[in-house]
Amino acid sequence: MNYIPLIETTRGQTPECWHLGSLAVVNARGQLVAQAGDPHLLTFTRSTLKALQALPLMTSGAAQALGFDARDLAMVCASHNGEDMHVQQVQSMLDKAGLSYQRLACGCHLPLRYVYTSALPPANLHYDERHNNCSGKHAGFLAACVHQGWRTEDYIAPDHPLQQGIRQAVAQACHMDEHAMPMGLDGCSAPNYAMPLSKLALGYARLASGERDAQFGEAFGLLASAMTQHPELVSGTDRNDADFMRIGQGDWVTKVGADGVQVVASKSRGEALAIKIIDGNKPALFAATVAALDQLGWSSPAQRQALAPWAATDLINARGWVVGHRRPVFTLTR
């Protein structure tokens, strides 16, 4: 297993933890530009896959036929907080498809706005499938089925025409043989696929290339633009994707996946980095991503300053004392 230490934490002056992982930077032609560890590490894509899972919605004409706007397309790619703006947008998508939220097969969980913050949920809080962080993706799934005349009862079944079409589109976008992508079920019960980090980075380099992509240009252009125009919908208040895309000023298309996966693509460069932290530690993931952006020269001094809250930093205890440090310990090779 060719993982390397990406982030080290210390307590006092003594190393305490090492967060291992790998990273690949690839251009839209599939060429490896830079790496750390194993750039071809096989990993589940988790929610980084959402923009690519939306391709059948786009290429079938379903999004256009149902009047999906940029806000709807941002929600299709989202792992959202379950804030009011997210729930309302998902409901708008379902209304356009003529379906009830009860058709959503993503399940129900406490909105992430309470999971990722110190805010306590109110005692009378009511939440349903629309609050699930993947409900926008599922609303897009249902919309594609309505447009195509496919059954909606089992739209997440791996053998459903929609999921078969998604698998084919993902494979094409990432230059993969669809049978070489191991399948598993994601947290929202939809099929998810594993692939080499370099292939995931390629998919996002093409996504960020937008209209320049000969195969998926219009679809990629609309999805990438929706994400950068409405980053607050892609994740939410105080979340990484929203903050990174704001700091990227329209150039960075970013998406985090569960258990330590992140992708950042640059529209202007036609390149993307994909990173996996093996133990799934989110602070280590974000710190490593910030360090990689710096080493690649993608971030300006002002952007580095804005990214500081996500970067390697001091470790602060409950009394506000600095008790250790988190720092990157890798160097990208080209």
pLDDT in tens, 108-159: 999 999 988 778 899 899 999 999 999 999 999 999 999 999 999 999 999 9
Q: What is the SS3 assignment for 160?
A: coil
Q: Which residue has the higher pLDDT, 312 or 142?
A: 142
User: Which has the closest alpha carbon to 195: 203, 187, 205?
Assistant: 203
Instruction: Please state the domain extents for the chain.
Output: 4-328
Distance CA 159, CA 262 (A): 28
Residue 312: the pLDDT is: 84
Query: Average pLDDT in the 247-270 region?
Result: 98
Query: 4-328 in CATH: which number?
Result: 3.40.710
By the 10 Å C-beta count (0-12 exposed, 13-18 middle, 19+ buried), 53 is classed as buried
Q: Does 2 have pLDDT greater than 90?
A: no
Q: Among residues of the chain, what percentage have pLDDT more than 90?
A: 96
- Asked if residue 1 has pLDDT above 70, the reply is no
Q: Which of 59, 97, 91, 93 is nearest to 222 (CA)?
A: 59
Give the chain's mean pLDDT. 97
Residues in the chain: 334
Positive or negative: CA dihedral 271, 306, 239, 232: negative
CB atoms within 10 A of CB 159: 8
Residue reference for tokens 């202007």: 268
CB of 89 closer than 8 Å to CB of 136: yes
Tell me if 33 sits within 8 A of 197, measured CB to CB.
Answer: no
* Mean pLDDT along residues 18-46: 98
> Residues near 74 by Cβ (< 8 Å), separated by ≥ 6?
136, 226, 227, 229, 230, 231, 233, 234
Residue 119 confidence (pLDDT): 82
- pTM of model > 0.85: yes
Residues 207-220 have pLDDT tens digits of 999 989 999 999 99
Could you give phi then psi for residue 114, rounded to 5 degrees? -95, -25
Helix axes 161-173, 135-148, angle to 10 degrees: 110
Angle separating helix axes 161-173 and 197-209, nearest 10 degrees: 90
Name the residue type at position 277.
I
Share of the chain above pLDDT 70, in %: 100
What is the rounded CA–CA span in Å between residue 80 and residue 131? 8
At 111 the three-state DSSP class reads coil
Tell me, what's the pLDDT at 117? 79
